[in-house]
Structures are given as structure tokens and as C-alpha cells.
Amino acid sequence: QVQPVESGGGLVQAGGSLRLSCAASGQTFSSAAMGWFRQAPGKERESVARINRDGDATYYADSVKGRFTISRDKSKNTVYLQMNNLKPEDTAVYYCSVLQGYYSGRPFGSWGQGTQVNVSS
């Protein structure tokens, strides 16, 4: 199973911004819906955002709606997560995944290393 590679995390103050990137292989990327997930210490992994194969439909968790934007660039085989107005509760390891389907939002379950996001208050 293909493992996307995440990058772009870091330490930022509350109210700041970060842009995460997820690189995936060409064939997988072009034919699949993609999603971003996160896992905070002591908590289960949760869905944050997803985007369909064509990039014209997106879905966000209520906790990030209006602050995060998911997008994809097929020419670069990359999915992005622009995160604005970050809050301390956004602190987590962020992962991306190929999805079984856009509407289900279920990941295939092959996870990469993720990228750590720390938001200080």
C-alpha cells in the first residue's frame, strides 16, 4: 500500500498559520480521494479534511471549518492543508492518506510518519 509523505509541520503561536504538504505517487494520487487526519497525545486519530479525486469537492471537520483549507495539485502529485488561525487544540501529529472513497472518508490505513504541529498559547 502506498504511503504518502507528509511535511510542513512546526511550532507556531496561537493565531498563526502553517501549510502542510502530502506527496503521493502519481498513479495513486490522480485516481483517489485524499484526506488529512490528526492524532493528539492520548486521543484517537480523527479526520480533519478530505478532497475528492477531481479537487472540486471538500469536507471539513466542524472543529477546523473556516480555518483550514485542503487543496490538491495534480501536476505536483501533492495535497495541501492550509491551516490559519491555529489554536492550541490543533496540536497533533498530522497524517494524510489515500481514501477508500470521498463520501466514506475511510482511509486505507497505511500511515506514514506524519508531521508534528505544535501550537503554543
pLDDT in tens, 14-69: 999 999 999 987 667 778 999 999 999 999 999 999 999 999 999 999 999 999 99
pLDDT at residue number 74: 87
Contact between 102 and 57 under an 8 Å Cβ cutoff? The reply is yes
pLDDT at residue number 35: 96
Contact between 97 and 64 under an 8 Å Cβ cutoff? The reply is no
Could you tell me which residue, 109 or 115, shows the higher pLDDT?
115
Could you tell me which residue, 53 or 1, shows the higher pLDDT?
53
Start-end of H helices in 18-73: 26-31
**In this model, does residue 7 exceed pLDDT 90?**
yes
